[in-house]
Chain A
């Protein structure tokens, strides 16, 4: 039986952000922007949606007088990502 794909993760930019964050401990907003080639505005919106879902933590601080946004995946986010990948695999055929 097919599981429903998580709608939060089943979107190109949000999935790209979570896939990047799953591989690292934490990343700056500029890093995510550079790797996804997204616009700052769109990325901010998608990050906020991931944060609201509890999938990522966002820390805003100042570094050398400039604002800095740091994102890291939460345990809840890791679990959601694992479930999402398992669901994808069940869609694409038996393991």
Chain B
């Protein structure tokens, strides 16, 4: 491209072409999405196997989610360093996922407080010979799936990335289903939701990113 003067039609065509090029300029590496999809799926499946086969790990498997924050920080820093362009959406996306993280932490705290109050009541009820028909654990999973769906759906819609949009919808569908299923099925559906919402979209993103890198390297 050089410094030549353009006709009016050529100018409008160039503006459209450049705006489209700018829109298509950012490709996520997908590593973060894949990692979180795998971590949540592993946690849910390990918990399920603990219940199914009657054993207990010496630690709560969900601590793995806290541990995963460390590589996520490195991934975020590296991705931001590598980016040659900042879009107006970036800041909003960061805030949406930060709000999601805070909401999940708050939900875990709320569930623990409810359990601490509910558990003695359930024990007393059982000691009195009652058959507790209400199992609180079976109503917790839908709340998590409700939250999983929200940022996933927004990201998919805002970035026009259909696998994530469908992943968000899948989380919400599972959110309704898990209201009526046992805790074991809930864990299975949580693992499946994590794979559909994050792991598979992450794999697709990673493939697209590698293609984009290859194309740009060929053009240089």
Interface string of A37-66 (1 = CB under 8 A from B): 110001000100000000000000001100
Minimum CB–CB distance for A73 against chain B, Å: 11
Q: Is the CB of B2 within 8 A of A13?
A: yes
Q: Which of B15-23, B56-64, B165-173, B191-199 contacts A (4 or more CB under 8 A)?
A: B15-23
Assembled-state Cα–Cα distance A34/B83 (Å): 13
**Residue B94 lies at the interface, judged by CB distance under 8 Å to chain A:** no
Main secondary structure of the interface of B (DSSP, over half): helix
Q: Is the CB of A16 within 8 A of B18?
A: yes
Q: Is the CB of A34 within 8 A of B1?
A: no
Query: What count of chain B residues pass the 8 Å CB interface test?
Result: 29
Q: Is the CB of A31 within 8 A of B25?
A: yes
**Residue B214 lies at the interface, judged by CB distance under 8 Å to chain A:** no
Tally of contacts, chain A with chain B, CB under 8 A: 94
Assembled-state Cα–Cα distance A32/B14 (Å): 14
**Residue B76 lies at the interface, judged by CB distance under 8 Å to chain A:** no
Minimum CB–CB distance for A18 against chain B, Å: 8
Q: Is the CB of B219 within 8 A of A34?
A: yes
Minimum CB–CB distance for A27 against chain B, Å: 4
Assembled-state Cα–Cα distance A91/B8 (Å): 7
Assembled-state Cα–Cα distance A36/B21 (Å): 9
Of B8, B11, B23, most A-chain CB atoms within 10 Å: B11
Query: What count of chain A residues pass the 8 Å CB interface test?
Result: 32
Q: Is the CB of A27 within 8 A of B2?
A: no
Q: Is the CB of A23 within 8 A of B22?
A: yes
Residues from chain B with a CB closer than 8 A to the CB of A14 are 3
Q: Is the CB of A13 within 8 A of B85?
A: no
Q: Is the CB of B3 within 8 A of A13?
A: yes
Q: Is the CB of A31 within 8 A of B3?
A: no
Given contacts A13-B1, A42-B2, contact A31 B14 (CB under 8 A): no
**Residue A95 lies at the interface, judged by CB distance under 8 Å to chain B:** no
Q: Is the CB of B1 within 8 A of A31?
A: no
Given contacts A12-B4, A26-B86, A42-B3, contact A19 B19 (CB under 8 A): yes
Q: Is the CB of A20 within 8 A of B22?
A: yes
Assembled-state Cα–Cα distance A27/B3 (Å): 20
Q: Interface residues, chain A, CB within 8 Å of chain B?
A: 5, 10-16, 19-20, 22-28, 30-31, 34-38, 42, 46, 63-64, 85, 88, 91-92
